[in-house]
Structure 1
Amino acid sequence: MASREDGTHIKGTKKSLPDGWTTSGFRFAIVPTEEQATRLEQTFGCERKVYNEYIAGLYEYLEEIRFEGGFIRYKVPSYTTITAQYDYLL
């Protein structure tokens, strides 16, 4: 943990853990078959499309209300509402 001369914490630096705690991590590698790799690529592509549709809807709403800053009151459409628009996302 980084701190200044007066002992105050410098924002953005690691904080110390309580006594007895440690940090560790694991790394895994997957080796999918060709069919699995294709399926994963399709799945991630579809999820990216849904996310982009959410963002596009939000931007349309913000332009519609001429948003200039402050709190946004936006009703997020459901996942099924977005996926129903595209046959390949079902």
Structure 2
Amino acid sequence: MEHVFIENAKLFKALGDPKRLKIIELLSKGEMCACKILEAFEMSQSTLSHHLKILSDCGLIKGRNEGKWIHYSLNKDNLEKIQQLLEGLNK
């Protein structure tokens, strides 16, 4: 059971950064190339890659290679798990 708490903590830690929340909000509109996500921020490509890695590692987003570009989208299954977790706390 302890591993569930550790995984949930990773999700909430990833969501605890304003830039990562903005990435999630951008991806809520649909799949985006990393280059398009970068246009919404004033940060380096390496900083964006760091944020995308954190979101990907905890399962909130997923990447799909297309040529030399990576297209990111929300992992809706894990977002539903977060929603269920929060709803369970509100009982």
TM-score by length of 1: 0.27
Higher RCO by CA contacts (8 Å cutoff, separation 6 or greater): 2
Name the structure with the higher strand share: 2
TM-score by length of 2: 0.26
Larger Rg: 1
